[in-house]
C-alpha cells in the first residue's frame, strides 16, 4: 500500500504543481487584462461619477448611490433597468435585443445590467431615480405566515422615515454569508401601508437555493441590521371610479395588503374583489386580517381559491384562472391589478382580455 502511494506521489505532485502554476497565471492575467482602469460616467449631464471599470452599469451606479430598479438582480430577464446610454456603451447585445422596441433602440436605450463599463460613458436616466435612497433598518420581527412564507418587519434607523406609495417595492440586500460569496439585491413589495412610515413590512417566500431567501430564512435574526433601497415601481392604485379586481398568488399578497391597509374606504367604494390563489389550506395566510377588513368594509370581497382543497373547504376551488372565469361576468368598467409569478399573470391577463378588458385597465407586477 505504501509502495503504491509512493509510486503515484511524483505524478500527483507534478499535476498539483502544474494546476497551481496555471491557476496563478490566470489570476495574474485577469488582474492585468480585465483591468479597465477608472472610468467616468456622466449622468443626465449634471452628475459625474468615477468608478473602476469591469462591472455592469447597474452595479457601478449602485456602488455610487444611484439605484436603477431591477427585479431579476442583473440577470437580464426583467428589463426594469432601462437607461439611455448616449456614449460609450458598445454594441447592442443579443441578451438585450428581446426587451427593446425599435423606438427604444433608436434612442440608445439599453439594459443597464448588460452594459459593461469599459470606458467613459454618458447616460440619461429618469429624474425620479435620483430620489431613490438607501435605507438602513433593524429587524424588529420575523414571523412565520406559512411553512414557507415569512413576514419581516424592518424598523428604519437611517434615515428614519420613508415615503412611498402602496404597491411599490424595495430592493433588499443579501450580504455575503457562508455559501454565498457575492452581495445581491432582490426586489420585494412593501406589505405595510405608507402611513406606517417608520417601518416597512415584507412578505418573503422561500425559493430553494435562492440567494436572498436563504439569507432571510437561515441567517437573519431579530435585531440584525439590513440594508435596502427604494422605493420603486408604478404598481399603485389608479385614481378613478372603476371597479377594482385584485389578483395575487403566494407572496404577491404583499402589495395588495399595503393597498388594503392604506385606503380600505376607497377600495370599498370601488367594490374591490380580491382573488387569492393557492394550492392547499396550509398555503393561506393573513386570513384573520382579511376577515377583519371584510367585516369593517363589507364592500370588499375576499375570495381565496385552492387548487388542492382538503375536506371541509367550502370556498372556491381549482386554478385561479378557473375561478376568475366563473366569477367575472365581463370586464366593463373594471380595473385589474395582479401580482404574482409571470405564468399566473399571463394566464389571468388572457382571461381579462377575452372578457373585453383593454390593456390600459390591466396593471401588474411580475416577479422575474
Partner 1 sequence: MSPPYTPLVILVGAAFTENILLVNYLGMCSFLGVSREMKAAAGLGAAVTLVLSVSCTLNYLVNTYVLMRLDMLHLQFIAFMLIIAATVQLLEMIIERFSPRLYYALGIFLPLITVNCAILGVCLFMSIRNYNLAQSAAYGAGSGVGWWLAIVAMAGIRQRLQTARLPKGLDGPGITLIIAGIMALAFTGLAGMLNIR
Interface residues toward partner 1, by CB under 8 A: 10-11, 14-15, 18-19, 22, 25-26, 29-30, 33-34, 36, 90-91, 93-94, 116, 118
Which helix (H) or strand (E) segment is 352 a member of?
helix 342-354
Which CB, 34 or 287, lies closer to partner 1? 34
Which CB, 11 or 131, lies closer to partner 1? 11
**Reduced to 3 states, what is the DSSP secondary structure of residue 31?**
helix
Q: How far is the CB of 215 from partner 1 (least distance, A)?
A: 28
Which CB, 117 or 200, lies closer to partner 1? 117
Q: How far is the CB of 94 from partner 1 (least distance, A)?
A: 6
Which CB, 22 or 140, lies closer to partner 1? 22
The DSSP string of 203-249 is EEE--TT-HHHHIIIII--TT-EEEEEEEE------SSS-EEEEEEE
Q: What are phi and psi of 252, to 5 degrees?
A: -65, -10
Read off the C-alpha cell for 142.
Answer: 420575523
Q: How far is the CB of 48 from partner 1 (least distance, A)?
A: 24
Q: How far is the CB of 121 from partner 1 (least distance, A)?
A: 14
Provide the 10 A C-beta neighbour count for residue 315: 13
User: Shortest CA distance to 132 belongs to which of 231, 235, 44?
Assistant: 231
Q: How far is Cα 329 from Cα 307, in angstroms, rounded to an integer?
A: 21
Reported in sequence order, the residue ranges of the chain that DSSP labels E, i.e. its strands, are 38-43, 47-52, 82-87, 109-111, 121-124, 133-144, 149-158, 169-174, 184-189, 199-205, 225-232, 243-249, 273-278, 301-306, 316-317, 334-340, 362-366
Which CB, 76 or 194, lies closer to partner 1? 76
Which CB, 118 or 219, lies closer to partner 1? 118
Q: How far is the CB of 181 from partner 1 (least distance, A)?
A: 19
Which CB, 25 or 140, lies closer to partner 1? 25
Q: How far is the CB of 66 from partner 1 (least distance, A)?
A: 24
User: Shortest CA distance to 41 belongs to which of 29, 54, 30, 50?
Assistant: 50
Q: How far is the CB of 116 from partner 1 (least distance, A)?
A: 8
Q: How far is the CB of 103 from partner 1 (least distance, A)?
A: 23
Q: How far is Cα 146 from Cα 7, in angstroms, rounded to an integer?
A: 59
336, HSE (Cβ side, Cα atoms, 13 Å) = 26
Which CB, 74 or 233, lies closer to partner 1? 74
Amino acid at each position: 500500500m505504501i509502495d503504491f502511494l509512493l509510486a503515484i506521489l511524483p505524478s500527483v505532485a507534478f499535476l498539483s504543481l502544474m494546476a497551481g502554476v496555471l491557476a496563478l497565471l490566470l489570476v495574474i492575467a485577469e488582474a492585468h487584462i480585465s483591468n479597465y482602469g477608472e472610468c467616468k460616467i456622466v449622468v443626465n449631464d449634471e452628475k459625474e461619477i468615477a468608478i473602476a471599470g469591469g462591472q455592469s452599469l447597474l452595479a457601478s451606479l449602485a456602488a455610487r448611490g444611484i439605484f436603477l430598479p431591477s427585479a431579476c438582480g442583473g440577470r437580464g430577464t426583467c428589463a426594469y433597468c432601462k437607461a439611455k446610454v448616449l456614449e460609450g456603451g458598445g454594441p447592442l447585445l443579443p441578451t438585450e435585443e428581446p426587451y427593446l422596441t425599435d423606438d427604444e433602440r433608436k434612442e440608445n436605450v439599453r439594459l443597464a445590467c448588460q452594459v459593461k463599463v469599459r470606458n467613459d460613458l454618458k447616460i440619461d436616466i429618469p429624474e425620479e431615480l435620483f430620489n431613490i435612497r438607501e435605507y438602513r433598518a433593524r429587524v424588529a420581527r420575523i414571523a412565520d405566515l406559512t411553512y414557507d412564507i415569512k413576514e419581516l418587519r424592518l424598523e428604519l434607523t437611517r434615515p428614519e422615515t420613508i415615503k412611498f406609495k402602496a404597491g411599490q417595492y424595495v430592493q433588499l440586500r443579501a450580504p455575503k454569508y457562508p455559501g454565498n460569496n457575492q452581495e445581491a439585491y432582490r426586489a420585494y413589495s412593501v406589505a405595510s401601508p405608507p402611513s406606517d412610515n417608520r417601518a416597512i413590512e415584507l412578505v418573503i417566500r422561500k425559493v430553494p437555493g435562492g440567494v436572498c431567501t436563504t439569507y432571510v430564512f437561515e441567517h437573519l435574526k431579530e435585531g440584525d441590521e439590513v440594508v435596502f433601497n427604494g422605493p420603486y415601481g408604478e404598481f399603485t392604485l389608479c385614481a378613478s371610479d372603476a371597479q377594482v379586481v385584485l389578483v395575487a398568488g403566494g407572496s404577491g399578497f404583499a402589495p395588495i395588503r399595503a393597498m388594503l391597509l392604506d385606503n380600505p374606504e376607497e377600495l370599498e367604494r370601488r367594490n374591490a374583489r380580491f382573488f387569492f390563489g393557492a394550492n392547499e389550506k396550509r398555503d393561506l395566510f393573513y386570513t384573520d386580517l382579511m376577515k377583519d377588513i371584510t367585516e369593517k368594509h363589507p364592500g370588499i370581497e375576499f375570495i381565496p381559491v385552492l387548487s388542492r382543497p382538503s375536506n371541509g373547504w367550502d370556498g372556491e376551488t381549482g386554478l385561479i384562472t378557473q375561478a376568475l372565469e366563473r366569477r367575472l361576468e365581463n370586464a366593463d368598467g373594471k380595473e385589474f391589478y395582479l401580482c404574482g409569478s409571470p405564468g399566473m399573470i399571463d394566464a389571468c391577463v388572457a382571461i381579462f382580455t377575452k372578457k373585453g378588458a383593454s390593456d390600459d385597465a390591466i396593471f401588474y407586477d411580475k416577479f422575474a
